[in-house]
Amino acid sequence: MNIYLIRHGETDWNKQGKIQGHMDIALNQQGRLQAKILASKFKNIKIDRIYTSDLLRASQTAEIINKTTKSLLIADERLRERNYGDWQNYSWSEVHSQNPNLKEEWRTNPVHSRPPKGESLHDLYNRITRFLSELISEAKNNILIVAHNSPLKILISIAKGITLEEFHTIDHLSNTEIIQIKSTEGNLSINEEEYNKISLNKTKLAFQNQIV
């Protein structure tokens, strides 16, 4: 089974650098355009199902893609972004300024550290793996998962066979970025060469943007 992991399109909060978490923020004009461009990439690929987070920014992205793929579209709240609790609606710089010991806490306890009224990385892992166990029990050919940065990074880490302690080594996904993984007899895998090529291109682009 081919699984295409897709991060949702851009929102105004993405542009403003604000933590969205479970906040239900819609796509902006650029995000809708990104989703339309993304949909064209699947014009000649038969997609059996699209699974999407039920949050607007993901479900709107999925709906735009589905105008091209005409697939069975399934919303699942387990694909939501990590719940950042009281940190939502703030920037990361604001969160760190209000929590000066946060970096040290993440260094010593990255898996179980939890935002106030939010989820730990372990909490997120548990709900994503519950979704995954149901997904791989059903035989399909090509599926899309439209979700958010952290849930998709959990799936990538599983495919790469790395631990939650190494979660931070997975690159941040850009809006409407695609990562392809495979499920074979219940085991996830990823083409490391292709994945590394994507990471290298993103690094080059970031460097070029800094120069400009």
Active site residue 134: no
Active site residue 165: no
Contact between residue 113 and residue 105 where contact means Cβ atoms under 8 Å apart: yes
Which amino acid, 135? L
From the list 10, 81, 119, 148, the catalytic residue is 81
Neighbour-count burial for 79-91, b at 16+ CB within 10 Å, e otherwise: bbbbbbeebbebe
Q: What's the first-to-final CA gap in the chain, in angstroms?
A: 41
From the list 8, 10, 119, 148, the catalytic residue is 8
Residue 140 dihedral angles phi and psi, to the nearest 5°: -145, 170
Give the catalytic positions in this structure.
8, 81
